[in-house]
Structures are given as structure tokens and as C-alpha cells.
Amino acid sequence: MKHGKKYRAVVEKIEAGKEYTPEEAFQFLTENKIAKFDEAVEVHVRVGANPKKSDEMVRSTAVLPHGTGRLLKVAVVTATKEKEAKEAEADIVGGEELIEDIKTNKVVPGTDFHILLATPEVMPKLASIAKILGPKGLMPSPKSETVTPKIKETVEMLKKGKKVSFKNDDTSNIHQVIGKVSFTKEQLLENYAAFREALDKAKPEAMKGKLVLAMYFSSTMGPSLPIKL
């Protein structure tokens, strides 16, 4: 893949062999924007989990004090909390009819909504669309706090981009947006601190050795910076 002049110019500013502190990395990213749009700031973490073992899955949520800067579409499946969901301004609210719309592709996961919440009583009915939601990482789960009776509070947090869910993928990496390059360095540091605290607490009991093996920060269009652990 060939990169443009702006990208190559930024790469030349990276010190070879250096591991950056979070403060240095955020300073670098906010001062070296590449795209015309407001790029996301991403954290990429290599964890010591064996992706083939379910009991080593690193999975949790974090509340970012300044949000991600991304507007999320939130859908809610419920039989008991429709009023709360609508008051919290969820983008899509429904019960069995919403499940049917997802099943028939009238509502498209990942396009019509980015997060699906469910109240506990409807979880058995979601089994019929698990194969649709699962591959896209949108199946509600108590571990990611997307199965909850606290619909109003959760929708409001998600709509502001403050509450994020993360888990390792099948290559033992975690990818998480923690803000935008337009954020101040202080805002990014506070968001990172909240994410890192949640990550450290998420180490499974079954995992041996270190949780975090390597970490990199990047912007959407920019090169990655190795972070000093």
C-alpha cells in the first residue's frame, strides 16, 4: 500500500526505536493531523490472552469522562422499558417486532444501529438472531453491560459516547477509540486513564503472565506509535 506525502512526512517525525509515553503520543497525534476530517484517536493493545480459550477472554466496559466524540445509534429490545428508552432518545425501540425486523433485514445491525441493548426478559427471544448479531459483535451480553434493566441511564451514557465496551479479537488484540484529534491532550489522557483502569481490572483469573504485552496509539489515518508500558 502506497501512502501519501502527508503520511510519509509524519512517519519521518517518529523517532526510530523510541517508545512514547501516553503524554508524548497524544501530543504527537494532535500536532500531526493528516486527514481533513476530525480523526479518531485509537488505542491498540496486544494482550496475553489465548483467543481459543473462552475463560481467557478480556472483556469489559469503560466510562470515558469526555466520550469518544462519536455519535452512536442505539437500539433497544425490551418488553418492559419502552417508555424509558424513548425518553432517553434511543434511535430504535421495540420488542418482538424489532427482532423480526432484524431477522428479515428491515433493520440492519451496524448500519441502522451501532449498539443493541436488551432488558433481561427478552434475552431468550434474541437467540433467533444471534447468528446475525454475533459476527458483528452486537449480541447483548451481561459482561458488556448491554443486557440491563437500567435502560434510561445506559442509553444516555452510550448516546454521549461515554460508555464503551471492549474485548480481545481472535488475534488477541483490543482496538478502542478514546477520542478525537481535536480533543486536548488532557482530555485524551483522562479518557485513556479510564480505559486503562478498566482494562487492568478485566484480566481473567485463568490468564497466566502479563495482561498487556504491547500497546500502540494512532489516529484514523496516521501511523501508529509504540507506547512505553
* For residue 228, pLDDT beyond 70: yes
Closest CA to 19 of 190, 199, 217, 186: 217
**What is the domain partition of the chain in residue ranges?**
18-68+162-226, 74-159
- Superfamily for domain range 18-68+162-226: Ribosomal protein L1/L10, rRNA-binding domain (3.30.190.20)
Pick the closest to residue 139 from 125, 150, 153, 159 (CA basis).
125
Q: Nearest-CA neighbor of 158 among 98, 85, 217, 220? A: 85
The whole-model pTM stands at 0.77
Confidence of residue 137 (pLDDT cuts 50, 70, 90): confident
User: How far apart are the C-alpha atoms of 192 and 198, rounded to whole Å?
Assistant: 10
As a whole-number percent, the residues of the chain with pLDDT over 70 amount to: 100
**Inter-residue contact 177 to 114 (CB < 8 Å):** no
Q: What is the pLDDT of residue 1?
A: 61
Per-residue model confidence as pLDDT tens digits over 37-74: 999 999 999 999 999 998 999 999 999 999 999 888 99
Mean pLDDT, the chain, as a whole number? 94
Q: Which CATH class is domain 74-159?
A: alpha beta
Which residues are paired to 116 by β-bridges?
A: 75
Q: Tell which residue, 29, 4, 6, has the closest CA to residue 180.
A: 29
